[in-house]
Every structure is written in C-alpha cells, then in structure tokens.
Amino acid sequence: MQKLVHGLIQTNSTKIVLIVLDGLGGLPVNGKTELETADTPTMDALAQSGACGLHLPVACGITPGSGPGHLSLFGYNPLEHQIGRGILEALGLGMDVRRTDIALRCNYGTIEQGIIKDRRAGRIPTDQSRKITERLKTAITKIDDAEIHFAPGMEHRFAVLMRFPEPLVPGADSINDTDPQKEGKAPLEAAAGTSAAERVARVARKFVSKVAEVLKGEEKANYILLRGFSVMPHLLSFKEAYGLNAVAIATYPMYGGLAKLVGMTTPAVSGGVQEEIDYLRANYDKYDFFFLHVKKVDSYGEDGDFDGKRRRIEEFDALLPQIVSLNPDVLIITGDHSTPALMKGHSWHPVPIILKSPYVLGGLCKGFSERECTKGELGIFPTVNLMSLALANAGRLKKFGA
C-alpha cells in the first residue's frame, strides 16, 4: 500500500491530526466496555458526523505490541518491518544508536524467591527509578567485549545499549524477552534463537546477573526484565513516503522513538495531555501532520483498572474541544491496539476509530464505542490502510490510472 500511495502523492496545505489513545479498545464488564461507560460528549458528536469503523493492527486474532500497532497506524506493514521495542525506547530517550549496538527496553521488577511478584516494581516514581539507573550505570560499564550504556526512562522503564566492537551480523538480535508477561512466574533466561545471537545472549545473561547483585537491597526494584532485543532498522522516512512534514507529540520515550525512526520531528514535551495539546496549538502552523499520543488509557487497562481507564478517556474528551477548535482538515481518533481492563493486557480485538473530514458519509453511529463503530462506513479494515484514507480525505492523493 505504501508503494502505491507514494506514486500518487500531491502536496497542498491541509492539516492531518492523528490522536492515539493508547490501548483504547476494551471488553464489557457488567455489560459495557470502558468507552461505552465513559461520558464522552465530544467524541460522541464527532462519531455522529464522522466516519467510524474498527481496524486490525496486524491480522485477525493476532495481539500486537505497541511497536507494530503504531507502525501500522503510520502505514508501515508490521509484518515487513518487525522492529524490537528496545530500539524504540533507546531512540526515544535520545541515545546514540549505532550499527554495532543491540538495544533493550528494560523494566524494573520485584522478585521473591525466584518468582516475579510485580513486573513493574509497583510503577516506582520516575525520580526513584532514575537514581537506581545511575547506580547501575556506575557499577556496570562493560561485559566481555561489549560496552554497556544506560538511559533512564519513565517510572519503571529504562533503556540499555550493548555496544560491540564491530557491526553485528544479521540475526544477532534474535533473543527472547526475559519477561514472561505474567506475575507468579520465574523470569525467562535470555536464549539465542540463532547461532548469530549466541554471543549477545551470553552477554545478556551476565548482565542480568550483575544487575541482580547491584539491586539485591532494593525493596521493590530488585530485578530487571529485558524486552525487545533489537538493532537499528532501515525504513523509508515519513516525508519520503507521504510528502508530509510531521511532528510527534508524545511524553513517553518509546513513542517518540518510533516517530523518530520514521523521520518525524520529536520535540521534548513533558507533563500531561494538556501540555501536549498546548504544544499542538502553539506549533499548528509549522507542520502538516500531527501525531499526538495519550499513554495513560493503556496503563490503567494493563493494571486491570476499568474505572481508571474510563476516567482517563473522560479526561481526554473534556480537553478534546481545544483540538477540534483548530478545525483540522482531517481529525482521526483511535488507538494502537485494544487493552481491555478485563484482560489486563493487550488483546487481538479490533480498535475503534473516528475519521472526521468534509468528505465522509457520517450519520451512521450514535456515539463512539466498539459496538457503535461496527455500524460505521469504514467497516473493519487493516490498520496499515489508515494513512491512505487520511491522505485521500486531505486531498493529498491524485487519481490512480487514466
């Protein structure tokens, strides 16, 4: 699809705003989903006049990670571009990633008698996490012939680069996560999926052991879980693919890293959703495409907090009129995947979407929810097709053929 679209691009002055409420989709608890329970008058009004539907980030029945989910939203086929979470976290934290590096996204966790009690160490405060990461940075600088570089992240997260003395061979990042994805289980051992990854896996195992020794006195963050072993990939830039001058407004590093990977401008934005909207409004004349990311909807879903997720959705809806007042030519509101509080994690369920432009039918949905979106004109479609819909509605695609 991206190759087809690339040949049809035409430039104009239209504006596209893509808002991603991370983990937006849900499942019913007591008969209603989080979206159905939430009081969302602004999104409901947009759904009534806009085009609605549901999208599939990867394929039917496949549960996507955040990386594949966002790549699909940006029009990159996640089956062709399988990118580890580590590289996204490292880029988002401003690390200088080289062709000799293996990037990792790490979680602090709590372990007792060899069993994981909390995969996120109680979501320890960012300032506390940063202090612990500084201790590790001082204590661990090299393992075998690999330099070890740290970058503190938000809450329980941080990134690590294992820098080897020469460029890595293909398959060197083929190593499983050590996070079993559930509490009550033992951490997994880093194991090589190919012979090319044996060397890296060996360094990873030694790294986990050294970190555990440094952290053994910590009450909560006494262990680490490794995720997303990855090397720097090669992708066509967003500007090359779509002719758009794009900016990513995201406070969590991984999402900024993903945007940076595809060539978006990634300003440092701190604070909450209001601060993100303030940046959008202040810089509205500078860009054609705006990706605004809202994280906490997903966080509460992962914690199994149905009411907390509902509240985050309502809080966003109360701020949304500030964006609507800018009158973008195309306004899209959706998620990168579903995170039902019922399941306490990502799921394979299609994700609800609103696309507002002057060139839609509209009038098919009474509000914005998973059930209402099944009635919308967009139907259920592959997420990777969203960018072509956005560009078409923005008048940025020429006719195909004679």
pLDDT-derived band of residue 48, with 50, 70 and 90 as boundaries? very high
Structure tokens at 177: 């996560």
How many whole angstroms separate alpha carbon 214 and alpha carbon 14? Answer: 53
Give which of 254, 119, 114 is closest to 189, Cα–Cα: 114
| Domain ranges across the chain | 2-81+235-393, 87-230
The mean per-residue pLDDT over the stretch 72-98 comes to 88
Residue 270 or 374, more confident? 374
The mean per-residue pLDDT over the stretch 96-125 comes to 92
pTM of this prediction?
0.79
Identify the weakest region by mean pLDDT among 164-178, 272-286, 333-347: 164-178
Structure tokens at 6: 């690339």
Give which of 400, 395, 399, 360 is closest to 288, Cα–Cα: 395
For residue range 11-34, list pLDDT tens digits in order: 999 999 999 999 999 999 999 999
How many whole angstroms separate alpha carbon 52 and alpha carbon 49? Answer: 9
Class of domain 2-81+235-393: alpha beta
264: three-class secondary structure by DSSP: coil
For residue range 344-376, list pLDDT tens digits in order: 999 999 999 999 999 999 999 999 999 999 999
Q: Is 381 exposed, middle or buried (CB count within 10 Å of its CB: 0-12, 13-18, 19+)?
A: middle
How many whole angstroms separate alpha carbon 194 and alpha carbon 311? Answer: 45
CA angle centred on 227, ends 223 and 230, rounded to 5°: 135
Contact 18, 332 (CB under 8 A): yes
How many whole angstroms separate alpha carbon 97 and alpha carbon 256? Answer: 14
Contact 247, 264 (CB under 8 A): yes
Q: What percent of the chain is predicted at pLDDT more than 70? A: 100
How many whole angstroms separate alpha carbon 324 and alpha carbon 352? Answer: 19
Q: What is the pLDDT of residue 359?
A: 98
The mean per-residue pLDDT over the stretch 44-70 comes to 96
Q: What is the pLDDT of residue 87?
A: 86
DSSP state of 245: -
The mean per-residue pLDDT over the stretch 143-157 comes to 93
How many whole angstroms separate alpha carbon 165 and alpha carbon 108? Answer: 28
Residue 51 or 67, more confident? 51
Q: What is the pLDDT of residue 280?
A: 98
The mean per-residue pLDDT over the stretch 80-90 comes to 84
pLDDT-derived band of residue 67, with 50, 70 and 90 as boundaries? confident
Whether 209 shows a pLDDT value over 80: the answer reads yes
Whether 223 shows a pLDDT value over 90: the answer reads yes
Q: Is 326 exposed, middle or buried (CB count within 10 Å of its CB: 0-12, 13-18, 19+)?
A: middle
Q: What percent of the chain is predicted at pLDDT more than 90? A: 83
Contact 129, 156 (CB under 8 A): yes
Whether 92 shows a pLDDT value over 90: the answer reads no
- Mean pLDDT taken over the chain: 94
Whether 84 shows a pLDDT value over 80: the answer reads no
How many whole angstroms separate alpha carbon 389 and alpha carbon 289? Answer: 14
Q: What is the pLDDT of residue 217?
A: 85
pLDDT-derived band of residue 288, with 50, 70 and 90 as boundaries? very high
Where is 115: in which H helix or E strand?
strand 115-118
In the block, which residue shows the tokens 């990042």? 173
Q: What is the pLDDT of residue 31?
A: 97
Whether 93 shows a pLDDT value over 90: the answer reads no
Q: What share of the chain is helix, strand, coil (3-state, %, to 5)?
A: 35, 20, 45
Q: What is the pLDDT of residue 364?
A: 98
